[in-house]
Amino acid sequence: MQYRTLVTVLAIVRCKKEITMQDKPVALVTGANKGIGLQIAKDLAAHGFTVLVGSRNLENGETAAKSIGAAAHAVQLDVTDQASITTAAERIRNEFGRLDVLVNNAAISQTGRRPGVSIEEYAKSTLVSNVSLDELRAVFETNVFGVVAVTQAMLPLLREAPAARIVNVSSGAGSLTMHSDPAFAYRSGFRPLYHASKTALNAMTLAMAIELESTGIKVNAASPGPTKTNLNNYEGTETVEEGAREAVRLALLGPDGPTGTFSHTKLGRLPW
């Protein structure tokens, strides 16, 4: 009798735990083991989310999750590996039962400068006329195709959420409108690697927003601005807290919030 009572109690406790987990909104942030992604995860946890820290290296993700607290869980997720993406989606469904917010943050700016090559020499090697096609493919694989692959895998869960949000972390560096203006100070720096990949990501963002408009799922692109991260060798001017702010705002949009937009926390709407 005591054994049956214990089993019943444990079952009730487990059931209550599962219900509690399902009642709490869940957010997945890719590339969240450091930089802006980690800060976004911290901020969403502070807003009451169970946060899934996506990381190519699970150990790094676990370290990051511990720095956030009990609301965070590491998820092994390589956005360039379909098997990894599929496994992550299955784990989220089986372990957490829902997904309310997807922040596509994982990105690379280059595959790496060869030893002995100066920044100036490397910059010259990334012009359209001589850029390495292998490097171009690698950057687009992470920054564009990876975003689409992860979004496709997570959409079944997002469609089940009462008010799902997708935030793609883009960059003002991808704005065609700004860079096509001869008076724009940074026009000459537009390159086919990082810059063009963010242009393509903006296009994917708009395509997603248009497709999902009738579902209530809002899809927007956030520009962090020149943030001090490993992506730019910490040469940015803004802190990760500032860089994460717009993505978090878009993740928390209410029912009257916009969809299909590109924005920055200080500059507001940005031109595509």
Identify whether the C-beta of residue 250 lies closer than 8 Å to the C-beta of residue 220. Answer: yes
How far is residue 105's CA from residue 231's CA, in Å, rounded to a whole number?
12
**Given 42, 198, 218, 228, which residue is catalytic?**
198
Identify whether the C-beta of residue 85 lies closer than 8 Å to the C-beta of residue 153. Answer: yes
Among candidates 168, 173, 169, which has minimal Cα distance to 192? 173
Among candidates 237, 236, 241, 263, which has minimal Cα distance to 250? 263
**Given 194, 228, 234, 266, which residue is catalytic?**
194
Amino acid at the residue 253: L
Pairing of strands 50-55, 165-169: unpaired
Question: What token pair was written down for 267?
Answer: 């500059």
The answer to whether 3 is a known catalytic residue is no
Residue 69: what are its φ and ψ, rounded to 5°? 125, -170
The answer to whether 42 is a known catalytic residue is no
Question: What token pair was written down for 230?
Answer: 């490993």
How far is residue 236's CA from residue 96's CA, in Å, rounded to a whole number?
36
Residue 227 is classified by DSSP as: B
Q: Which residues are catalytic?
A: 194, 198
